[in-house]
């Protein structure tokens, strides 16, 4: 990602803000190859207040 394309930078910033804003537990990972963003991954965990009962 570079400052040569400010529209792209703004779009990616907005996308990342939206992903982070809705994330309670998890990660957002950006992958770069030779200075270029090639992949964006979001992994979200769902947590429960009480452990599940395996006998049910």
Q: At which residue do the structure tokens 């049910």 appear?
A: 56
H or E stretch including 14?
helix 6-21
Residue 52: the pLDDT is 67
**pLDDT beyond 60 at 2:** no
pLDDT band at 56 (very low <50, low <70, confident <90, very high): low
pLDDT in tens, 3-43: 577 888 888 888 888 888 878 888 889 898 998 889 988 89
* 54 has pLDDT over 60: yes
Band (46; pLDDT cuts 50, 70, 90): confident
Count Cα neighbours of 45 within 13 Å in the Cβ-side half-sphere. Answer: 5
């Amino acid at each position: 990602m570079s400052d040569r394309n400010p529209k792209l930078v703004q779009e990616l910033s907005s996308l990342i803000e939206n992903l982070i804003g809705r994330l309670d537990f998890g990660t957002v990972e950006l992958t770069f190859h030779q200075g270029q963003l090639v992949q964006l991954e979001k992994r979200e965990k769902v947590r429960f207040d009480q452990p599940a009962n395996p006998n049910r």
